[in-house]
Chain A
Amino acid sequence: MAVVVRARGLVKVYGQGRAAVRILDGLDLDVHAGELVAVTGRSGSGKSSLLNVVGALDRVDSGRIELCGVRLDQASERELAPVRRDRIGFVFQSFHLLPELTGLENVLLPTRLNGRGPSRDRGVELVDQLGLGTAAQRLPAVLSGGEQQRLAIARALVNEPDVVLADEPTGNLDAESGRDVLELLRAIADEGRAVLLVTHEQEATRRADRVLRLEAGRLR
């Protein structure tokens, strides 16, 4: 399978001088299409930082990172925006649905950002697939955590990304909703997309193709 994410020697430092912490310290990572990779580690070990770097939300201090052949470490902010929009689907622990938009509007938002107009059919299809027909017409404030996270996953998929990055996607959910979400992510990988999952949960790691542990700034 093709390599979707390739990272070599990633270094990310927080703080300066004696207070500096190398949260990523020469990290290497490959994620292939159709693969669900789970990254675990202690709190503060740098899991979310890794996901932010891979998702083009943050910069590395050194190292090389490619997403579908695009060098993220050398790209400008202007170049990164379409990468995030078209190549990456992000699923956050706290969902980050926009409170002013309905469920379906949230799902369709990435398609409206590319100026090509909304792929309404694809959005509706995803919403139906995820059993969110009723929730799609409501504002996020009145939805359950599970419904919100499933909508967030639908939003992550609507632009047909190459990779889905999920940051503790079940952290704010009850056990049953968490299971549903993990099944969804597994299905996404099975469809041929790369999925990089940051998690603390055993349940999640059981469904992964590979489980990597982040320690001292490197994956083991």
Chain B
Amino acid sequence: MRAVLAYALARLRVRRGRVLLAAGGIAAAAAMLGAAVTAAYGLGTAFDRTAARAELPDILATFQPLPRSQVQQTVSSLANVRATSYRLQDSRQFVAFRGQTSYDATVIGLTGGGPRGYALVGGHDLGGPGDVLVEQGLARAWHLHSGERLLLGGLTLRIAGIAVAPDNVAFPLSKGPRLWTTYDVAAQLTGTPRGTVNSALVWLDNPKLVDVTLAQARSASFGISGLRFTTRAGLHALVGQAAGIVIALLVAFSLVAIAVAGTLLAASANAEVQRRLDALGLLRALGASPRAVVTAGALEAAIVAVPAGAIGIVAGWLAVSSPLNRLLASLSELGPGWAVAPLLLGAWAGLVLLVCAASAFPAWRATRVPAAATLRRGDVIGSTRRLPGAGGPAALGLRMAAARPVRAVAGTLVLGSAVVVILLILAIASLLLQLDSNPVTIGKRYQLSVSAAPADASRIARLPGVQAAEPRYEVDAADSFQLGEPFSLIAYPGDHTRFEAPALAEGHRLRGPDEAEVGLGLAQILNLYPGATLAAQLPSGRELRFRVAGVVRALERQGRVVYVQSSRLVAAEPDAPSDLAVLLKPGASAGSVRHELESAGYFASSSGGIAGQSVQGWASRSSGFVGVLVALLRAVAVIDALVCLYAIAQILALTVWERRVTLASVRALGAGRRQLASVLGAVALPVVLAAIVLGFVLERFLVGPAVAHLAASYVTLSLRPSAAAVALTALGLCAGALVTVLWAARLAARGPVVDWLREA
């Protein structure tokens, strides 16, 4: 055994080029694995990790300012309460730092006692009345550091630290930044009487009973005006409005990438052992036991996989960490940091095991056949079938490929998997851009949203280029029976389908004021179906009940939307926020209509895609967010392209090695590098073409729909690759294949022709 192991080590020392090639492939696949694991874990757990570190409350109650003692009395009557904290907060505060200003800052005054509800990521906590904590988004956008001073309202405060709270997206995605001060400072800035608060944070002993506590709180809070409850799930949904679908897509994509990386690694390791089967045969001929041969195969693979896998995983982690952290930071969430280390360690261990197993298996199979058969591996095995073709270099290459059908199929599968990932990346990127900017993608038919009173609708409808204008009400509501499940109630005076019409999944469109169309996301959570009753708790505490007429595939708010007619909503909630949805005439220019509106004294904005409909209205500020996403996707695409190149290179390198006698013969007959390239190109071409077709078919009919369903079961997303994406991928792959073929031809042309001929 010792001699066999020593031989394995010696092979590694001598065949450095080949070892480096194998290590490169493992490193590339490991990089993909590391990137996918980091992204999947980071995105999938970001809210919960940040919420846990920030000690986000189970219930956030906001109300009109009241004496703290009165609120405390109400809260103390509730069961299941572990801790409470009271605050005074106000938006529309002025904040300035070195020429940068915002008039929409939210200042949060903290009273003593209780958990804080934010996580410090820099500096230290509030120490005195002159201190202020700034949210991480503001610190990044304005380049703020601990110890610097900024102007808040009329006060100059010292930045004590930088904090993150995942109860809203970060500035500048949110309209205004959040700043935490002492209670006294907040009271001074807002001019509120001392001792009053307007929000309570409640932590529960048993968060699973949040519905019971909310029902109790409702009944115990009679007389508290403007009361609104938001649960931790509600806060998650609020942040999800901004990027839920995006994160779901990325997580689903990462899971696919992990599976593909596993396939690549197994195929790569297997191919590496195929290459040294003759050596294994020799070991057997010299008397090595089958166990020693298998162990040597596994050990040789492990020696390469351990460092290469570690380097690859770290490289993958590094490649996505920065864009991932930026993406999460824009959502007020923390990057995975070292928390992902155990997972990466596990992925690395799994990778090494996979490589060893995939290497040991062909070695084990080699021990099941006579040693002479293993020794003969190489050029002697050719196709026993006659294939059509003229018999030139290209035909020779095709026949060489046909002589190894299993390898051709395995190569096609590996490359096809990589094509699937590339097409998926392009489809996701395309979908994100559409969701971000194209309102039609999410079922909206109106083009402009105008800040105006409902009464102005008829006047605006008469403007040139405008086909129709109607008030669009939107309020945050919750299910009366499950108060922890928030949704948006969207209402139009008449037929909402003129202005927005997500596809109907079941039932029918609403026909009267007592009916509602429910988004599939909400229907899945609340088990709603046509004919069921939806009880909506409005911000005022009033309740409206609707009969579910239909279920729609709404993309907004992750499908947590309900469409109703506005009459009952306006009656129950006279101050319900609204704007005007403006539908343009066919062919009318949005720009000229917007100009008309501005001339008439109105402010209009695009109705926007998912980015545009967020309650924070961050459409105009989302370009950085999309940019970060694009960077993240590009990082994965680059890694995947490298894997593609490696897969082709490995097939060709293996072919050159196995068919070295044939190639030497062809060289002896006068073939130069160009002819060798023709031979090898014909070996690679069928695999590449088949991989493109396979990748397209798999992405189009299996993986794309599966990822779309995994990301959002409440809506039909199209992850169909565009013709341009398919063409780009095919061209890229062919170009990569060409480069690799030229490299392999160079390899074959430089090989020792006499030595190779002698091996026949």
- B667, A98: Cβ atoms closer than 8 Å: no
Residue in contact with B383 in the complex, picked from A99, A106, A109, A118, CB distance below 8 Å: A99
Binds A, one of B158-166, B295-303, B387-395: B387-395
Binds B, one of A79-87, A200-208, A210-218: A79-87
Write out the residue numbers on chain A whose beta carbons fall within 8 Å of the beta carbon of B391.
101-102, 104-106, 108-109, 112, 118
- A102, B396: Cβ atoms closer than 8 Å: no
A20 CA to B496 CA, complexed, in Å: 92
Write out the residue numbers on chain B whose beta carbons fall within 8 Å of the beta carbon of A155.
669
Q: Report A37 CB to chain B, min CB distance, Å.
A: 20
- A113, B393: Cβ atoms closer than 8 Å: yes
A106 CA to B672 CA, complexed, in Å: 17
A58 CA to B758 CA, complexed, in Å: 13
Write out the residue numbers on chain B whose beta carbons fall within 8 Å of the beta carbon of A100.
382-383, 387, 396, 399-400, 402-403
Tell me if A114 counts as interface (CB < 8 A to partner B): yes
- A84, B668: Cβ atoms closer than 8 Å: yes
- A96, B760: Cβ atoms closer than 8 Å: yes
- Identify the closest chain A residue to B750 (Cβ): A77
**Known contacts A105-B391, A112-B392, A118-B390; A96/B757 CB under 8 A:** yes
Residue in contact with A101 in the complex, picked from B381, B396, B402, CB distance below 8 Å: B396
A99 CA to B384 CA, complexed, in Å: 8
A55 CA to B396 CA, complexed, in Å: 23
Tally the A-B contacts, defined by beta carbons under 8 Å.
Answer: 109
- Identify the closest chain B residue to A53 (Cβ): B754
Write out the residue numbers on chain B whose beta carbons fall within 8 Å of the beta carbon of A118.
390-392
Tell me if B91 counts as interface (CB < 8 A to partner A): no
A77 CA to B382 CA, complexed, in Å: 28
Write out the residue numbers on chain A whose beta carbons fall within 8 Å of the beta carbon of B403.
99-100
Contact with A along B668-694 (1 / 0, CB 8 A): 111111010000000000000000000
Write out the residue numbers on chain B whose beta carbons fall within 8 Å of the beta carbon of A102.
386, 391
Write out the residue numbers on chain A whose beta carbons fall within 8 Å of the beta carbon of B386.
102, 139
Q: Report A10 CB to chain B, min CB distance, Å.
A: 15
Write out the residue numbers on chain B whose beta carbons fall within 8 Å of the beta carbon of A177.
none
Residue in contact with A113 in the complex, picked from B381, B382, B400, B666, CB distance below 8 Å: B666
Could you tell me the dominant secondary structure of chain A's interface residues? helix
A88 CA to B664 CA, complexed, in Å: 15
Tell me if B152 counts as interface (CB < 8 A to partner A): no
Q: Report A187 CB to chain B, min CB distance, Å.
A: 21
- Identify the closest chain B residue to A106 (Cβ): B391
Residue in contact with B669 in the complex, picked from A49, A105, A109, A141, CB distance below 8 Å: A109
A83 CA to B670 CA, complexed, in Å: 7
- B669, A110: Cβ atoms closer than 8 Å: yes
- Identify the closest chain A residue to B385 (Cβ): A139
- B757, A92: Cβ atoms closer than 8 Å: yes
- A98, B396: Cβ atoms closer than 8 Å: yes
Tell me if A94 counts as interface (CB < 8 A to partner B): yes
Q: Report B679 CB to chain A, min CB distance, Å.
A: 10
Q: Report B519 CB to chain A, min CB distance, Å.
A: 61
- Identify the closest chain A residue to B400 (Cβ): A100
Q: Report A80 CB to chain B, min CB distance, Å.
A: 9
- Identify the closest chain A residue to B380 (Cβ): A99
- Identify the closest chain B residue to A167 (Cβ): B757
Q: Which of A92, A101, A139 has the most chain B CB within a 10 Å cutoff?
A: A101
Tell me if B246 counts as interface (CB < 8 A to partner A): no
A112 CA to B387 CA, complexed, in Å: 17
**Known contacts A92-B757, A100-B396, A101-B391; A81/B384 CB under 8 A:** no
A92 CA to B382 CA, complexed, in Å: 19
Write out the residue numbers on chain B whose beta carbons fall within 8 Å of the beta carbon of A96.
661, 664-665, 668, 757, 760
- B661, A77: Cβ atoms closer than 8 Å: no
Q: Which of A57, A77, A100 has the most chain B CB within a 10 Å cutoff?
A: A100
Tell me if B477 counts as interface (CB < 8 A to partner A): no
Write out the residue numbers on chain B whose beta carbons fall within 8 Å of the beta carbon of A82.
670, 672
A94 CA to B666 CA, complexed, in Å: 14
Q: Report B662 CB to chain A, min CB distance, Å.
A: 6
- A81, B667: Cβ atoms closer than 8 Å: yes
- Identify the closest chain B residue to A78 (Cβ): B672
A95-141: which have CB < 8 Å to B?
96, 98-102, 104-106, 108-110, 112-114, 118, 139, 141
Q: Report A58 CB to chain B, min CB distance, Å.
A: 5
- A85, B671: Cβ atoms closer than 8 Å: yes
**Known contacts A90-B668, A96-B665, A99-B383; A78/B673 CB under 8 A:** yes
Contact with A along B356-393 (1 / 0, CB 8 A): 00000000000000000000000111111011001111
Residue in contact with B667 in the complex, picked from A84, A99, A105, A112, CB distance below 8 Å: A84
B415-468: which have CB < 8 Å to A?
none
Write out the residue numbers on chain A whose beta carbons fall within 8 Å of the beta carbon of B662.
98-99
- Identify the closest chain B residue to A96 (Cβ): B665
Q: Report B633 CB to chain A, min CB distance, Å.
A: 43
- Identify the closest chain B residue to A94 (Cβ): B760
Tell me if A52 counts as interface (CB < 8 A to partner B): yes
- B666, A52: Cβ atoms closer than 8 Å: no
A82 CA to B380 CA, complexed, in Å: 27
- B666, A109: Cβ atoms closer than 8 Å: yes
- Identify the closest chain A residue to B669 (Cβ): A110
Q: Report A96 CB to chain B, min CB distance, Å.
A: 4
Tell me if B615 counts as interface (CB < 8 A to partner A): no
Write out the residue numbers on chain B whose beta carbons fall within 8 Å of the beta carbon of A106.
391
Write out the residue numbers on chain A whose beta carbons fall within 8 Å of the beta carbon of B661.
96
- A114, B670: Cβ atoms closer than 8 Å: yes
Q: Which of A55, A84, A85, A112 has the most chain B CB within a 10 Å cutoff?
A: A112
Write out the residue numbers on chain B whose beta carbons fall within 8 Å of the beta carbon of A109.
391-392, 396, 666, 669
Tell me if B749 counts as interface (CB < 8 A to partner A): yes
A114 CA to B674 CA, complexed, in Å: 10
Q: Report B592 CB to chain A, min CB distance, Å.
A: 63
Tell me if B753 counts as interface (CB < 8 A to partner A): yes
Contact with A along B732-760 (1 / 0, CB 8 A): 00000000000000000110011001001
- B396, A84: Cβ atoms closer than 8 Å: no
A55 CA to B390 CA, complexed, in Å: 27
Write out the residue numbers on chain A whose beta carbons fall within 8 Å of the beta carbon of B396.
98, 100-101, 109
- A98, B665: Cβ atoms closer than 8 Å: yes
- B760, A113: Cβ atoms closer than 8 Å: no
A52 CA to B758 CA, complexed, in Å: 11
Q: Report B594 CB to chain A, min CB distance, Å.
A: 64
**Known contacts A94-B760, A100-B399; A86/B670 CB under 8 A:** yes
- B669, A85: Cβ atoms closer than 8 Å: yes
Q: Report A73 CB to chain B, min CB distance, Å.
A: 16
- B393, A112: Cβ atoms closer than 8 Å: yes
Q: Report B439 CB to chain A, min CB distance, Å.
A: 58
Write out the residue numbers on chain B whose beta carbons fall within 8 Å of the beta carbon of A90.
668-669
- Identify the closest chain B residue to A142 (Cβ): B384
Q: Report B181 CB to chain A, min CB distance, Å.
A: 77
Write out the residue numbers on chain B whose beta carbons fall within 8 Å of the beta carbon of A108.
391
A109 CA to B383 CA, complexed, in Å: 17
B621-674: which have CB < 8 Å to A?
661-662, 664-673
A77 CA to B752 CA, complexed, in Å: 12
Q: Report B513 CB to chain A, min CB distance, Å.
A: 78
Write out the residue numbers on chain B whose beta carbons fall within 8 Å of the beta carbon of A58.
753-754
A-B contact pairs, 7 of them (CB 8 A): A58-B753, A78-B673, A82-B670, A100-B383, A100-B387, A102-B391, A113-B669
- B contact residues vs A (CB 8 Å cutoff): 379-384, 386-387, 390-393, 395-396, 399-400, 402-403, 661-662, 664-673, 675, 749-750, 753-754, 757, 760
Q: A82-B672, A92-B757, A99-B380 are in contact. List 17 more A-B contacts (CB 8 A).
A: A57-B667, A58-B754, A77-B749, A77-B750, A78-B673, A81-B675, A82-B670, A92-B665, A96-B757, A99-B403, A101-B399, A104-B391, A109-B396, A113-B393, A113-B669, A118-B392, A159-B670
- A contact residues vs B (CB 8 Å cutoff): 49, 52, 55, 57-58, 77-78, 81-86, 88, 90, 92, 94, 96, 98-102, 104-106, 108-110, 112-114, 118, 139, 141, 155, 159
